[in-house]
Amino acid sequence: MNLKGRNFLTLLDFTPEEIIGLLDLAVEFKRMKKEHIPHNHLIGRNIALIFEKTSTRTRCAFDVAAHDLGMQTTYLSPSGSQIGKKESIEDTARVLGRMFDGIEYRGHGQKLVESIAEHAGVPVWNGLTNEYHPTQILADMMTIREHFGDLKGRKLVYMGDARYNMGNSLMIGCSKLGLDFTACAPAQYFPKQSLVERCKAFSDTSGSHITLETDPLKGVEGADIVYTDVWVSMGEPESIWEERIGDLTPYKVTMDLMNRAGDGAVFMHCLPAFHDLETKIGAEMGAKFNINDMEVTDEVFRKYSDIVFDEAENRMHTIKAVMAATLGYE
């Protein structure tokens, strides 16, 4: 696998072999990290971390991974740069490309990260856009493989807003790597038909299936992984909460739903999760709509928390693999 100089904007751009290669590299980095074996071969390099939306995992994963590889990082916060306000994306990309060896970007439309990639002249990594969250999928696949020992033939069911970054990206990852993927949601929350068609072509090759299902009880039948995400994503208006709670409550991951999934099924979540009222927004919505949780019950979240936090840890190992591979780690 030679990914030197490549961008990492969406898994659509990568072959199954390249994705597996990144997972294998992440496993190797995880082993080295656990055994305290230094792997700072990219010493002297500098990377920029641009976050136009907030982050805990992705920011920390890029930061720690970069430092482990010997690199320095510069963080540009949602309010701390000129991007898009006083300076165009193109000019910003051309400036940063002169100073940095790689650029991570989290923001709104996919077109923004594509534009940075077009003009920067150095590898650009998508740290989440409205459409895709490709580094998250690598961590999810690494975690599924660690847990089950394989990927092909497993069934992943995504419950909730399946037309956004996580639903889209899981569908791409599953169809490329041979996992069955079910988007389980009201029909208006299904991924765009054009993306479904593209992914069906991948799943034909990998031997898996894509299903769009509105009935949560049918959707979880035979599932190995029941996956969900927040019902309102970053950047969406607060006014949308009421509608989302109304539309998506039937798709909340409850213990009853988990009991109807396949034998040995696990629950996964990219985090952050609204599984209780211990957050500002959770408490506000709890009081406003008289609820105790949202996309997943606290009981389910706690029962499967080991794998959910493995998934969070694996963000760091997989992001390290992406940076190392695209920057030419030797």
- Give the nearest distance from C-beta 289 to ligand NVA in angstroms: 19
110 a catalytic residue = no
| Closest listed residue to residue 46, CA positions, set 323, 278, 311 | 323
The C-alpha atoms of residue 258 and residue 134 are separated, in whole angstroms, by: 26
Site pattern 139..178 for ligand NVA (x: CB under 6 A) = -------------------------xxx------------
165 binds, among ligand CP, ligand NVA, none (CB under 5 to 8 A by kind): ligand NVA
95 touching ligand NVA, by CB under 6 A: no
56 binds, among ligand CP, ligand NVA, none (CB under 5 to 8 A by kind): ligand CP
Compare residues 57 and 260 and give the one whose CB is closer to ligand NVA.
Answer: 57
195 binds, among ligand NVA, ligand CP, none (CB under 5 to 8 A by kind): none
How many of the chain's residues bind ligand NVA (CB under 6 A)? 8
DSSP letters, 65-85, are: HHHHTT-EEEEE-TTSS-BTT
Compare residues 180 and 229 and give the one whose CB is closer to ligand NVA.
Answer: 229
Choice among 57, 106, 145, 275 that is catalytic: 106
Compare residues 138 and 230 and give the one whose CB is closer to ligand NVA.
Answer: 230
Enumerate residues 58-77 that contact ligand CP by CB under 6 A. Answer: 58
Q: Which residues contact 280 (CB under 8 A, 6 or more apart)?
A: none
User: Quick count: other Cβ atoms within 10 Å of Cβ 141?
Assistant: 27
- Chosen residue from 271, 279, 305, 328 binding ligand CP by CB under 6 A: 271
Name the one residue in this structure whose structure tokens are 């074996």: 37
Pairing outcome for strands 46-51 and 72-76: parallel
The C-alpha atoms of residue 300 and residue 254 are separated, in whole angstroms, by: 6
Q: Which residues of 271-287 are buried (b: 16+ CB within 10 A; e: fewer)?
A: bbbbbbbeeeebeebbe
- Give the nearest distance from C-beta 234 to ligand NVA in angstroms: 4
Amino acid at 207: G
The C-alpha atoms of residue 209 and residue 178 are separated, in whole angstroms, by: 8
Enumerate residues 185-244 that contact ligand CP by CB under 6 A. Answer: none
Enumerate residues 213-242 that contact ligand NVA by CB under 6 A. Answer: 229-230, 233-234
Count of H-run helices and E-run strands, the chain: 13, 9
Provide the token pair at 108. 């709104």
Enumerate residues 110-149 that contact ligand CP by CB under 6 A. Answer: 128, 136
Which residues of the chain form contacts with ligand CP (CB under 6 A)? 55-58, 128, 136, 270-272
The residues annotated with a catalytic role in the active site are 106, 133, 136, 229, 270, 315
Which residues of the chain form contacts with ligand NVA (CB under 6 A)? 164-166, 229-230, 233-234, 270
